[in-house]
Structures are given as C-alpha cells and as structure tokens.
Amino acid sequence: MPNASLLRWVGGKVRYAPELARILASAKWARGSRYVEPFVGGASVYFALGPKRALLADANPDLVSFYQCVSDSAQAVYEIARGLSGRTSNAEFLDYRAEFNELQSGTRKAALFLYLNRTCFNGVWRVNRQGNFNVPFGSRELTMPELGAWLEVSASLKSADIQCSDWAATVNTVSKQDVVFIDPPYHQANSTESFARYTKGVFSEGDHRALAARVDALDALGCQILLTVSDSSLIRDLYPNFKISELGGWYTVGAKGSHLRSNEIVLRNFG
Ligand SMILES: C[S@@+](CC[C@H](N)C(=O)[O-])C[C@H]1O[C@@H](n2cnc3c(N)ncnc32)[C@H](O)[C@@H]1O
C-alpha cells in the first residue's frame, strides 16, 4: 500500500487517512463488497485502506485521467515528470500550463498535471468555464516522488475502477453490500463558494441537500456509509440518523494561502 497520494489536494484527508481507514476497516465487508468513493480527490483514504475491489470517481476529468494514466503507465509518466522537476519559474509554469490545456490526454498530460498540482498556488485546482486550468504560479521547486512511490500508487490503483462522473451517477451504482466513503466539497455557511470550486461547477447548499437525500436512501438500502463534512447547523440537520464524531486539526493547503482551522465532523451509520 502506498504511504501517501502523489498529489497535494485541497480538502485532502492525508492526515486523517489512517483514522478514517480504521473506521472503514471495521465495517462488515461481504464477499462482493466494493469500496465506493464518489469524491475521490487525492485518494489518501483509499490508499490507506487498500480494499480488494473499489470504484473511485470524481467529477474532475483531469484528475481522473491522471489516475488512469498512472495506473496503466506509471513509469512513463514518472520519466516525463522527472524531466520537469527541480527549479522552475513563473514563465516556465505558464508555458507548461498552456501546453497542459492544449493536450487532450496521454502520459505527458499526466506528468504536467503533477507539475501543475505541485507548483501552482497552494495546490488549488480550478478551471475556467472552458475547462482550462487557470491557477497562478506558486512554488519555485518541483519536488518529485521517487519511482517506488509511483509504482506503489499504480499497483494500488489497479484494484480500482476509476471513473469521471458526477457523484449522483456514482451513487446510483451502489448496492447493499458496498461500503461508501463520502467526502464532498465543503459547505461554508456565510462565505464565498470559491473554496468549493474544484471543478467547473460549484457545490452548493442545494447539492448538499440532494446528497443527503441520496445518502438517506442508501442508508435505507442497508449500505454502510462514512462521511466527512464541514460542521454546520445545516449539515447536522441533514444527517439526523448518523453518529457524529469530530475530526480536528488544520488544513495544510487552502485557497487563501493560509492554514485554516478544520472543523470537520465524521458521520457514520455503522460501528
Ligand atoms: C474534499 S475533496 C475530496 C478529498 C479526498 N477525500 C482526499 O482525501 O483527497 C472533494 C472532491 O470532490 C470533487 N467534486 C466536486 N464536485 C463534484 C461532483 N459534483 N461530483 C463528483 N465529484 C465532485 C472535487 O473534484 C474534489 O476532488
């Protein structure tokens, strides 16, 4: 199992992955159970858990293509990314960003994805209405994970079906024996929604309400579900039947460049 994700991901659960994986491991896993994660992001909980079968999905097509490419051709992506590593500059960053936005797919696009993720401002992934990545330059040094880490991530991803889809389509495939981990974009009451804008759309209060209604239906079906969500009165009202515990600490990256206090809660219907 890999120690960590290759990526830094806003809202990523790297720090809490061992704790969340322990909770998920305590679920009742049947023979045909899949681990399903509809907002997979940096996938740190998946890597910590190492389930036999999984469906990993996210609405960010660049992220999903990166995982598919690393799963199939980790060494080729690593070789290209290694050529991009070391000192970098704003001018170089802008050239690579333009090239990334031109390319449709492939190993070079995946290597550029890693470069941009690790050198852009605070690891934020944001695209414009055309779907082009538009985050400015942030870091002057691209540090590269060792080849061994790439190969471990690749081996781990081979157990998973990796799809680009909206959470609602992913959740529609869930069956009774599946174990579902849901880590949606934050609900921030009384603030701008910029932090939640991972993909072209924004995850609004309406999305949180729709998600809670589907989670309720999965609960009724008998699925075991774990959620991590930002604490707010809205969120607590939406999940009245779930057990709540706190997930304290600090975010390591944030859209405003500061370290933000986390006030996330863990909700579950099992254990
Ligand atoms: C809080 S992050 C998940 C972090 C992840 N658990 C980790 O440890 O890195 C939320 C993810 O939801 C994805 N997302 C946003 N809107 C979505 C949607 N409508 N359907 C599916 N995924 C979505 C974003 O691209 C982002 O990767």
What confidence tens digit (pLDDT) does each residue in 205-245 have? Answer: 999 999 999 999 999 999 999 999 988 899 999 999 999 99
Q: Look at ligand 1, atom 7, and give the residue with the nearest C-alpha.
A: 12
How confident is the model over 90-131, as pLDDT tens digits? 999 999 999 999 999 999 999 999 999 999 999 999 999 899
| Ligand 1 pocket, residue 45 CB under 6 Å | yes
62 is written with which tokens? 């660049």
Question: 120: alpha, beta or left, given left = phi > 0 and alpha = psi -120 to 50?
Answer: beta
**Topology at the third CATH level for domain 14-60+158-268:** Rossmann fold (3.40.50)
- pLDDT at position 65, please? 98
What does the alpha-carbon distance between residue 52 and residue 95 come to, in Å, rounded to a whole number? 40
pLDDT for res 2: 76
Task: Specify the residue with its C-alpha closest to ligand 1, atom 12.
Answer: 39
How far apart are alpha carbons 31 and 135 in whole angstroms?
A: 43
Residues of the chain with CATH 3.40.50.150: 14-60+158-268
The CATH architecture to which 66-151 belongs is Orthogonal Bundle (1.10)
Report whether 268 contacts 226 (CB < 8 A): yes
Which of 210, 223, 202, 209 has the alpha carbon at shortest distance from 268? 223
Mutate to test the pocket of ligand 1, among 198, 214, 226, 227 (most ligand atoms within 8 A of CB): 198
Where does the chain hold its CATH 1.10.1020.10 domain(s)? Answer: 66-151
pLDDT digits (tens, 9 = 90+) for 29-56: 999 999 999 999 999 999 999 999 999 9
Q: Give residue 106 CA to ligand 1 midpoint distance, Å.
A: 22
